[in-house]
Amino acid sequence: MARKRARTEDGHFVKDDPATPENEAWVEDEKPQKAKAKAPSAPAFTWYISSDKETSVFDVQLNDDRFSGTWDAARQYVRWKIPTEMKASMSLHHFTWTGRIVEDKD
């Protein structure tokens, strides 16, 4: 069993009385704390892909950050790996709202 600090009814810590052999400041925890299940976290990155076949790879600039495009496996479409916190900025990019770049659902 785990030990934890003893508390009064008001929630304040109990101090140890040096006149007694027992340490009143600590008590045995009757029910151990269960580990909380971690909530599934959002992915760190969002993938975007060109909506049509491209003839060359190009970069996307969001605010002061530049993201390099890479070819897909067939070398027809360009893909970008954008941090999830930049997703709002990506939705305002000219290529996104004109439809040249779309979020990759795969």
User: Mind listing the pLDDT tens digit for each residue in 73-99?
Assistant: 999 999 999 999 999 999 999 999 999
* Closest CA relative to residue 27, chosen from 2, 8, 10, 4: 4
Structural domain containing residue 12: 1-32
Tell me whether residue 95 is in a domain: yes
Q: Say whether both 22 and 49 belong to one domain.
A: no
Number of structural domains the chain divides into: 2
Q: 60: how many CB neighbours lie within 10 A of its CB?
A: 21
Mean pLDDT over residues 43-68, rounded?
94
pLDDT at 41 (0 to 100): 78
Q: Say whether both 66 and 27 belong to one domain.
A: no
Tell me whether residue 68 is in a domain: yes
Tell me whether residue 24 is in a domain: yes
Q: How confident is the model at residue 33 (pLDDT cuts 50, 70, 90)?
A: low
pLDDT at 58 (0 to 100): 95
Q: How far does Cα 22 stand from its chain's mean position?
A: 46
Tell me whether residue 38 is in a domain: no
Q: Say whether both 65 and 89 belong to one domain.
A: yes
